């Protein structure tokens, strides 16, 4: 395991041994403005859909506040940042780049998720030069027809491909392997047959990691795009082919290996993820593992022990999903919020007593598959027999 990942696991296990630890990762939403109209997006659920960019302006915190947050987090012991949220980070490049620079000045690991359509040569050059670590490009089809339909703005595919190709060129020019280029794909009825084509696209454009997420339903468009039973019956043949190709090209991904995010249950139950989480806990409880390892294995979610999300208005939560709750960084320090706030303390207490909050229904399937991997990685080093037993539960059945 790489030392960065190891540190995350170490901190979570320390908490379960009774030693509180600082947050490992913070997700930030610098603003909520966007240039695209993606059919699957949670923005589509808003009754104010056409005014979201305008509304964002009245919620956003100033750049100085974000820079202060990064500074405080670095002192607290945060190691990793993810810039995303409910908008397109590069809609406001001056704010986003300033925060990215600050994160790198403190030597923390930086990730950004973007639709890739607003990156100019100047932005790309700056990001390569600052040593930014990783970019997740959201690409939902291997061609213009599918991607531009899903993103609802013509020319989007061409623009993201241009960004990727320019990044690869500039990485070569500056002789650096950073940033790592990842691809995020939302699995839907428009692209499930194209997964093998997506692997070929990844190979052609220098993508090192493919992350595929089953679509979560937020609106009537999401309902239409979610895979139905008939699609699920056909899907394994395309998945199998994609796994073979990814192996052949050496492209790492989250649909093979320990994560297996495209398991049929995860696809079918996206938007009912609380049921999957509950079943996972019940299966693990049956193993009757004792001590801190037992309590670690049977907690429904680990986010409040390593992760914090900060929305554009300063509200904090443990992950992206809850729309309410959480205290505000405008009123309290990160340290107070993390260790002392009612929100985090109550959530940890509820999860320790196996209560699954209602909002978990809308949780990302990948959070479940990442949690499964986390448990497996810990067991692999602590209990080989249990590791093998649990691993077989998550194998694909082709």
Residues of the shown chain interacting with ligand SAM in the complex, contacts defined by CB under 6 A = 34, 38, 40-41, 84, 86, 88, 113-115, 138, 184, 186, 213, 215-216, 218, 222
Q: Is 310 left (phi over 0), alpha (psi -120 to 50) or beta?
A: beta
- Which residue from 27, 88, 320, 327 is in contact with ligand SF4, where contact means CB under 6 A? 88
**What whole-number distance in Å separates Cα of residue 78 and Cα of residue 64?**
19
Q: Which stretch binds ligand SF4 (CB under 6 A): 8-16, 85-93, 208-216, 336-344?
A: 85-93
How far is CA 159 from its chain centroid?
23
Contact 308, 316 (CB under 8 A): yes
For residue 393, what is the DSSP state?
A: H
By CB under 6 A, is residue 38 in contact with ligand SF4? Answer: yes
Nearest to 208 by CA among 159, 108, 135, 140: 135
Nearest to 117 by CA among 138, 99, 132, 134: 138
Task: Find the radius of gyration of the CA atoms of the chain.
Answer: 20
Label the pairing between strands 316-317 and 307-310: antiparallel
- Which residue from 12, 30, 34, 281 is in contact with ligand SF4, where contact means CB under 6 A? 34
By CB under 6 A, is residue 269 in contact with ligand SF4? Answer: no
Q: Which does 182 bind (CB under 5 to 8 A by kind): ligand SAM, ligand SF4, none?
A: none
Residues 279-338 that bind ligand SF4 (CB under 6 A): none
Q: Which does 181 bind (CB under 5 to 8 A by kind): ligand SF4, ligand SAM, none?
A: none
Q: Which does 184 bind (CB under 5 to 8 A by kind): ligand SAM, ligand SF4, none?
A: ligand SAM
How far is CA 283 from its chain centroid?
25
- Which residue from 25, 43, 269, 367 is in contact with ligand SF4, where contact means CB under 6 A? 43
Nearest to 367 by CA among 322, 311, 312, 398: 322
For residue 217, what is the DSSP state?
A: P
Tokens of 258: 């320990």
**Which is closer to ligand SAM, CB of 34 or CB of 321?**
34
- Which residue from 56, 115, 317, 368 is in contact with ligand SF4, where contact means CB under 6 A? 115
**Which is closer to ligand SF4, CB of 147 or CB of 171?**
147
Q: Which does 251 bind (CB under 5 to 8 A by kind): ligand SF4, ligand SAM, none?
A: none
**Which is closer to ligand SAM, CB of 93 or CB of 294?**
93
Least distance to ligand SAM, CB of residue 142, Å: 15
Q: Which does 314 bind (CB under 5 to 8 A by kind): ligand SAM, ligand SF4, none?
A: none
Total interface residues for ligand SF4 by CB under 6 A: 9
Sequence-distant (≥ 6) Cβ neighbours of residue 184 within 8 angstroms: 113, 136, 137, 138, 139, 211, 212, 213
Tokens of 164: 């990727």
- Residues at the interface with ligand SF4 (CB under 6 A): 34, 36, 38, 41, 43, 86-88, 115
């Amino acid at each position: 395991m790489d030392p960065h990942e190891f540190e995350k696991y170490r901190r979570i296990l320390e908490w379960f041994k009774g030693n509180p630890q600082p947050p490992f990762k913070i997700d930030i939403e610098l603003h909520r403005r966007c240039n695209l109209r993606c059919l699957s997006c949670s923005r589509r659920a808003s009754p104010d859909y056409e005014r979201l960019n305008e509304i964002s302006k009245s919620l956003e915190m100033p750049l100085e506040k974000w820079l202060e947050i990064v500074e405080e987090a670095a002192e607290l012991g945060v190691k990793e940042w993810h810039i995303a949220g409910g908008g397109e980070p590069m809609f406001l490049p001056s704010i986003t780049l300033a925060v990215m620079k600050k994160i790198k000045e403190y030597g923390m690991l930086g990730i950004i998720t973007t639709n890739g359509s607003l990156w100019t040569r100047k932005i790309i050059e700056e990001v390569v030069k600052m040593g930014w670590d990783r970019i997740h490009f959201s690409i939902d089809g291997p061609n213009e027809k599918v991607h531009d339909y899903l993103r609802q703005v013509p020319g989007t595919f061409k623009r993201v491909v241009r960004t990727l190709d320019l990044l690869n060129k500039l990485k070569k020019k500056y002789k650096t392997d950073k940033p790592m280029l990842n691809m995020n794909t939302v699995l839907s009825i428009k692209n499930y047959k194209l997964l093998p084509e997506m692997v070929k696209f990844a190979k052609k454009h220098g993508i090192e990691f493919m992350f595929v997420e089953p679509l979560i339903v937020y609106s009537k468009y999401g309902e239409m795009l979610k895979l139905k039973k008939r699609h699920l019956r056909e899907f394994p043949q395309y998945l199998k082919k994609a796994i073979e190709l990814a192996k052949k090209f050496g492209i790492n991904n989250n649909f093979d290996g320990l994560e297996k995010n495209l398991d049929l249950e995860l696809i079918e139950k996206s938007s009912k993820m609380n049921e999957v989480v509950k079943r996972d806990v019940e299966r693990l409880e049956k193993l009757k593992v004792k001590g801190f390892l037992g309590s670690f294995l049977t907690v429904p979610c680990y986010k409040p022990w390593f992760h914090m999300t900060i929305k554009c208005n300063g509200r904090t939560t443990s992950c992206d999903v809850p729309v309410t709750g959480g205290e505000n960084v405008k009123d309290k320090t990160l340290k107070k919020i993390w260790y002392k706030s009612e929100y985090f303390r109550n959530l940890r207490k509820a999860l320790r007593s196996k209560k699954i909050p209602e909002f978990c229904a809308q949780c990302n399937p990948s959070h479940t598959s990442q949690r499964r991997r986390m448990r497996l990685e810990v067991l692999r080093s602590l209990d080989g027999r249990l590791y093998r037993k649990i691993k077989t539960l998550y194998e694909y059945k082709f």
